[in-house]
A and B are shown apart, each in its own frame.
Chain A
Amino acid sequence: MYLTTFSTLHHLPLADILDTIRQLGWGGAFELLRNGIVLGSLYALIALGYTMIYGILKLLNFAHGEIYMVGAFLGYGVLSILGGPLAPAIATVPLILLMFAGGMLGAGVLGVVVERFAYRPLRNAPRIAPLITALGVSFFLANSVLLLTHGQRYNYAAYQLGGNPDNGLPGPLVDSAFSVLGRPVTVVQVLVVSSAIFLMVALTLIVSRTKLGKAMRATAFDREAANMMGIDTDRVIAFTFLIASVLAGAAGVMFGLYIGETYYLMGFLAGLKAFTAAVVGGIGSIPGAMVGGLLIGVTESFAAGYVGGQWSDIVVFAVLIAFMLFRPTGLFGTRAIQKV
């Protein structure tokens, strides 16, 4: 009976998955974990924006993925203006810093402009109105970039930064920074994760230790009361959008450096997955967005690695559905108690 059961098991997809796990071994598992953490760091940065804006305005800003996309394009723009990856006008480190600056500042300004002209006039409208507007802004931004770029895909080709343009040998970004179980962790992967951690820590400090952060928390808790206490909530909300968009812009530049490609639709799927991460972590919770992002990234990576590339999105959104059914408040969210 045991043998019969085993041979039946062999014909199931589960057998293929177990086979793959065995074949990839611990080294492969580490690679998938590494990939997932890098990807998850990007999702976490975008998810933070979703969660901050939801926390303060109860608005799901579906245009946030497009802010990330614009940040990626701005970073590419800075790279192009400064000579491109093969013949940059300045050294690699300051070039990368300028790319971040361009992407983050540009995305930040865009986020503030969107809030001012698309969402603020609807502050007191029924909640569906800004939600629909957010969708509209998303399409507007994506199609604007489409018109400007004619749908072209642009490749950062950051692996060539600092490399040899004559023979195409790559630069230091793809060098191995260190190895685990014989599998390399490249310089760019370390850069992405460490930058994401730095930004998350900076955000946490701003929110918990500064006066503006206190004002943000007060506005998120009760906007009316915060107003009455003398807080300029319009300014606080604008600042929240600024920070959220700066983080998304940073994620866009990091994606460009790590993966390479920018195109007008890249914000759509990334935005959805980051939204999933924010929900899984507990929408409105900053630590939740960070953990949710990492969880989604790792889940996606393991699904792609052990089950197959075509399964990764299915698994990610299945996780979302599962959380909605069994833990709708997410990992760190709490049920709100409203006094009636």
Chain B
Amino acid sequence: MRKLSIVAAAVALVGLVAAATGAGQAQFKPAAANNAANALVKCGTTRTIGVAYPATGPAASIGVFQIHWAQFFASQWNKKHPKDKIRIVQGDTQLPDTAKALAVAHSFASNSSMLGLVGPAGSQEVQDTAAVFKGGGLAMVSGSATRITLTRAQSGHARDTPVGYFYRTVPNDGQQGDRVASWISKKMKKKRVYIIDDQESYSTGLAEQVENNLRAAGVNVNRDSVSQQISDFSSVITRIPSNTQVVYIPWQLAGKAQLFYTQLRAAGKSAIVFGSDGTFAPGTFTGAGSYVSSFPVDYNSPALKAFKRQHGGQDEAFGLPTYTAALVNATAIMKACKNGTASRAEVRSWIKKTILPKAQTLLGFPVKFLSKNKGKQTGSGDMGGTADFGIYKIAASGKYNRVG
């Protein structure tokens, strides 16, 4: 009887702690973040934007592109706006380590000089840090978080972020997934597709979109999964039926796509490899005859040529939306600072009203954010207008030719 009482008391205690923690998470607003959320910042000639990205960890190889583009933006912007300069403060989120992302979120939220935020990079990070950034009054502007539910509730799944606190300068999985599935089924007319995700939320979300759309179009779809840590795909490739026509790999790492392509061909399989925008990397993913979906970047633009020169001649598009995210923030901050002071609330209201022409965004289309739901898969915070994906085919020389 005594033992039962002790166990019951322990269970009750655990329950109480859990309830308190849950309640605390919803309402807890560290004083520093609270102060920073409401602070009126003297703008001066240099304003601070935080960039939350994976500097270390498994996704460091793509995080480095994001910070390069953010730093490139800052250098270009500061040359043109000597009285409205931007200073970047970096936060290493170690995607997919959520704990680190939360630590960065708390640090940024309580940094009262910070007026804007680029990132976080991953959809799960955005979801996990949304409450902290909201508490701190910062709007997230991400160049790579593509999960649909970040901006739009889907059946059985509520919207993951509060309206007005999350924007993205990259089309979401729905937009990309629809485009890819349509291209494979209607243009390429393929009937047997094998989809392999890399177990990250970006990949699984996109894989599901494409799978559902392809099945609806009557295409035979097989699904598989590999860890992003794996480089030896030989056994997974063995599973791919020899009559498979297309292998769709919605992966974040273009280098892995190239490895996969090489190993697939070495195994004697001739299926066409189709990568998502994460694999768009001329010079890295060069599998002849492969396809890649990506936003229609103009590689002849002066800004892209300047970036390429600064980075050893390397073409790189994964981090490009981060440039645009920084531009959104910098433009909003400049407008908010017209009278010499600005609050995060003012910056948020200007981000909401962002209109950037195509020539400035580098994405191949203008940027204007939706204020409410549109269609079935976009919501407030998504880009409206021509936020569509291009389809590229890789030539034998490794050059990417736009075909759709």
Interface residues of A (CB under 8 A from B): 20, 23-24, 28, 31-32, 35-36, 38-39, 143, 146, 150-153, 155, 157, 159, 167-168, 170, 174, 184, 186, 255, 258-261, 263-266, 269, 300-302, 304-305, 308-310, 312-313
Q: How far is the CB of B61 from chain A (nearest CB, A)?
A: 5
Q: Contact between B63 and A261 (Cβ–Cβ < 8 Å)?
A: no
A-facing residues in B239-297 (Cβ within 8 Å): 239, 241, 253, 255-256, 258-259, 262-263, 265-268, 284, 286, 288
In the complex, what residues of B have CB within 8 A of residue A309's CB?
A: 196, 224-227, 230, 233, 235-236, 239
Given contacts A186-B266, A259-B259, 20 further A-B pairs with CB under 8 A are A23-B241, A35-B234, A36-B235, A39-B232, A151-B64, A152-B64, A157-B262, A168-B286, A260-B258, A264-B60, A301-B235, A305-B238, A309-B196, A309-B224, A309-B233, A309-B236, A310-B199, A310-B225, A310-B226, A313-B227
Instruction: With CB as the reference atom, state the residue of chain B lying closest to A167.
Output: B396
Identify 11 residue pairs between A and B in the complex whose beta-carbon atoms are under 8 Å apart, listed by A's number.
Answer: A35-B235, A35-B238, A152-B61, A152-B64, A153-B61, A155-B259, A168-B396, A261-B256, A302-B235, A309-B224, A310-B225
Task: Among B56, B262, B397, point to the contact of A143 (Cβ < 8 A).
Answer: B56
A-facing residues in B197-241 (Cβ within 8 Å): 199, 224-227, 229-236, 238-239, 241
* B398 contacts A by Cβ under 8 Å: yes
Q: Contact between A153 and B224 (Cβ–Cβ < 8 Å)?
A: no
In the complex, what residues of B have CB within 8 A of residue A302's CB?
A: 235
Q: Contact between A305 and B235 (Cβ–Cβ < 8 Å)?
A: yes
Q: How far is the CB of B184 from chain A (nearest CB, A)?
A: 22
Q: Contact between B238 and A260 (Cβ–Cβ < 8 Å)?
A: no
Count, chain B residues at interface, CB 8 A: 42
Q: Contact between A263 and B61 (Cβ–Cβ < 8 Å)?
A: yes
In the complex, what residues of B have CB within 8 A of residue A24's CB?
A: 238-239
In the complex, what residues of B have CB within 8 A of residue A300's CB?
A: 235
Q: How far is the CB of A232 from chain B (nearest CB, A)?
A: 41
* B357 contacts A by Cβ under 8 Å: no
Q: How far is the CB of A321 from chain B (nearest CB, A)?
A: 19
Q: How far is the CB of B398 from chain A (nearest CB, A)?
A: 7
Q: How far is the CB of A250 from chain B (nearest CB, A)?
A: 17
In the complex, what residues of A have CB within 8 A of residue B398's CB?
A: 168
Query: 9 smallest A-B Cβ distances: which pairs?
Result: A151-B60, A304-B235, A309-B226, A35-B234, A310-B225, A305-B235, A153-B255, A309-B236, A174-B266
A-facing residues in B41-98 (Cβ within 8 Å): 55-58, 60-61, 63-64
Q: How far is the CB of B252 from chain A (nearest CB, A)?
A: 12
Q: Contact between A28 and B238 (Cβ–Cβ < 8 Å)?
A: yes
In the complex, what residues of B have CB within 8 A of residue A167's CB?
A: 396
Q: How far is the CA of A339 from the CA of B315 in the complex (A)?
A: 67
Interface residues of B (CB under 8 A from A): 55-58, 60-61, 63-64, 196, 199, 224-227, 229-236, 238-239, 241, 253, 255-256, 258-259, 262-263, 265-268, 284, 286, 288, 396-398
In the complex, what residues of A have CB within 8 A of residue B259's CB?
A: 155, 259-261
Instruction: With CB as the reference atom, state the residue of chain A lying closest to B232.
Output: A259
Q: Contact between A305 and B239 (Cβ–Cβ < 8 Å)?
A: yes
Task: Among A153, A266, A308, point to the contact of B253 (Cβ < 8 A).
Answer: A153
Q: Contact between B64 and A32 (Cβ–Cβ < 8 Å)?
A: no
In the complex, what residues of B have CB within 8 A of residue A36's CB?
A: 235
In the complex, what residues of B have CB within 8 A of residue A313's CB?
A: 227
Q: How far is the CA of A255 from the CA of B259 in the complex (A)?
A: 12
Q: How far is the CA of A292 from the CA of B27 in the complex (A)?
A: 53
Q: How far is the CB of A241 from chain B (nearest CB, A)?
A: 27
Q: How far is the CB of A150 from chain B (nearest CB, A)?
A: 5
Q: How far is the CA of A304 from the CA of B397 in the complex (A)?
A: 33
Instruction: With CB as the reference atom, state the residue of chain B lying closest to A42.
Output: B232
In the complex, what residues of A have CB within 8 A of residue B230's CB?
A: 309, 312
Q: A309-B196, A309-B224 are in contact. Are A150 and B235 (CB under 8 A)?
A: no
Q: How far is the CB of A153 from chain B (nearest CB, A)?
A: 4
In the complex, what residues of A have CB within 8 A of residue B234's CB?
A: 31, 35, 38-39, 301
Q: How far is the CB of B110 from chain A (nearest CB, A)?
A: 27
Q: A152-B61, A159-B266, A174-B266 are in contact. Are A312 and B235 (CB under 8 A)?
A: yes
Q: How far is the CB of A137 from chain B (nearest CB, A)?
A: 18
Task: Among A143, A174, A184, A260, point to the contact of B231 (Cβ < 8 A).
Answer: A260
Q: How far is the CA of A72 from the CA of B259 in the complex (A)?
A: 16
Q: How far is the CB of B65 from chain A (nearest CB, A)?
A: 10
Q: Contact between B397 and A308 (Cβ–Cβ < 8 Å)?
A: no
In the complex, what residues of A have CB within 8 A of residue B229's CB?
A: 265, 269
Q: How far is the CA of A20 from the CA of B57 in the complex (A)?
A: 34
Q: How far is the CB of A140 from chain B (nearest CB, A)?
A: 14
Q: How far is the CA of A155 from the CA of B230 in the complex (A)?
A: 14
Q: Contact between B63 and A151 (Cβ–Cβ < 8 Å)?
A: yes
Q: How far is the CB of A286 from chain B (nearest CB, A)?
A: 25
Q: How far is the CA of A152 from the CA of B61 in the complex (A)?
A: 5
Q: How far is the CB of B163 from chain A (nearest CB, A)?
A: 34
Q: How far is the CA of A28 from the CA of B259 in the complex (A)?
A: 21
Q: Contact between A32 and B396 (Cβ–Cβ < 8 Å)?
A: no
Q: How far is the CB of A184 from chain B (nearest CB, A)?
A: 6
Q: Contact between B238 and A32 (Cβ–Cβ < 8 Å)?
A: yes
In the complex, what residues of B have CB within 8 A of residue A305's CB?
A: 235-236, 238-239
Task: Among B58, B63, B258, point to the contact of A155 (Cβ < 8 A).
Answer: B258
Q: How far is the CB of A261 from chain B (nearest CB, A)?
A: 5
Of the candidates B64, B224, B235, B256, the one having the most CB atoms from chain A within 10 angstroms of its own CB is: B235
Q: Contact between B235 and A151 (Cβ–Cβ < 8 Å)?
A: no
Q: Contact between A184 and B268 (Cβ–Cβ < 8 Å)?
A: yes
Q: Contact between B61 and A159 (Cβ–Cβ < 8 Å)?
A: no
Q: Contact between B396 and A259 (Cβ–Cβ < 8 Å)?
A: no
